[in-house]
Structure 1
């Protein structure tokens, strides 16, 4: 049996990962602030397989703790943690960003994955296969003017998971990977296009504004299925 923890499942890639994972019969723990009506109905239909853990991911103190994860991962042959939750904002010039937006981006994109991974590895059954996936971005490897926090937190996240991967390199049952899903037709892309129209500092805005018309946005479900097949099959 495979037990899968996914953060940020309310829409976009997270919702697609939830759908793909639950469809193949995984036991799923969805972590986030909001859940769709369909996800709630599935939880009601399959209470033994689907758990919705409502919390503010930006507050690390309220992430699933050791006892919660230990109970959820019990009896599993394979355990998977997918860090999908992320925010692209604030977009704008450094010097004009709010402290609240800065700290929220760091909390969601970096602190939560670090804290949750630490707890997850401790709670995982000692004989289970362990898979940890950090959904990253091309922004981790290139400068996108106006995206200081997103670029920084994704790059820092990849570094953290590279270090963890090195730590467990001699344990064949454990895999820690950074995954770049590419551009997708998600709410995050809608937010980027919305900000592009506000006059915020974002010199490369046109590339994101033109992405839908140019057919550069992949289907989230297709991406989710590929990620699960490649890294958590």
Structure 2
């Protein structure tokens, strides 16, 4: 049995990853604050296949603990963890950001993946094949002025998973990958354009504002299918 843990499934790439996993016949544990009506219906119809864990990813104390994760992964011969949830906010100049926005970005983009990875590796069956994916961004390697927290947390997240990859390099049953999905037609892109329109400090905003009209936003479902095929199949 293949068990897949995904964060942030209510929309965009996360929703697409959820759909692709379900269509493959995977057992899915979805973690996040919100879920779609279809996901809730699937949970009610197929409680053995779909688990929706409602929580705020910004609060590490309320993430699935060892017992919950071990119970979900108990019978798996293949266990997959996909860190998808992330926030691009705050967008603006350092010196004008709120403490709440800064700490929230670090908690969601970096602390939650680190904590969940630690729990996942402890809880997964020793003989199961384990695949860990961190959905990163080009912003991890390219400074985007006005995106201090997003660039920083994505770069730090990649570093964390590179360390995990090094730790497990001699274990053929473990695969750890940082994935850059590229620009997609998601709610995050809407937030970026909204920030641009708000007058926030964001010098390179025009490239993002023009992305939809220039056809540079990929379909999340196509990206999800590629990610699963290349890194988790």
Structure 1: 4+ residue segments shifted above 2 A = none
Distance 1:42 1:64 in 2: 20
1:82 shift after superposition: 0.3
Q: Which runs of 5+ in 2 are unaligned?
A: none
Could you say which residue in structure 2 is the equivalent of 1:11?
11
Could you say which residue in structure 2 is the equivalent of 1:180? 180
Structure 2 residue aligned with 1:105: 105
- CA deviation digits over 1:176-220, x for unaligned, max 9? 110000000000000000000010000000000000000000000
Deviation per residue, 1:52-108 (Å, 9 max, x gap)? 000000000000000000000011110000000000000000000000000000000
SS at 1:197 equivalent:
helix
Q: Which residue does 1:192 correspond to in 2?
A: 192
**Structure 1 unmatched runs, 5+:** none
Residue of structure 1 equivalent to 2:227 = 227
Measure, in 2, the Cα distance between the counterparts of 1:48 and 1:194.
Answer: 40
Shift of 1:128: 0.3
Aligned partner of residue 51 in structure 2, secondary structure: strand
Aligned length: 233
SS in 1 for 2:132: strand
Q: How far does the alpha carbon of each residue in 1:95-138 deviate from its partner, in whole angstroms, 9 at most, with x for none? A: 00000000000000000000000000000000000000000000
The residue number in structure 2 matching 1:33 is: 33
Whether 1:204 aligns to 2:204 is: yes
CA distance in 1: counterparts of 2:188 and 2:100, whole angstroms:
19
1:60: which partner in 2? 60
Q: Tell me the distance in 2 between the aligned counterparts of 1:100 and 1:75.
A: 40
> For the residues of structure 2 that align with 1:185 and 1:42, how far apart are their CA atoms?
25
Alpha-carbon shift at residue 142 of structure 1 (Å): 0.6
TM-score, with structure 2 as normaliser: 1.00
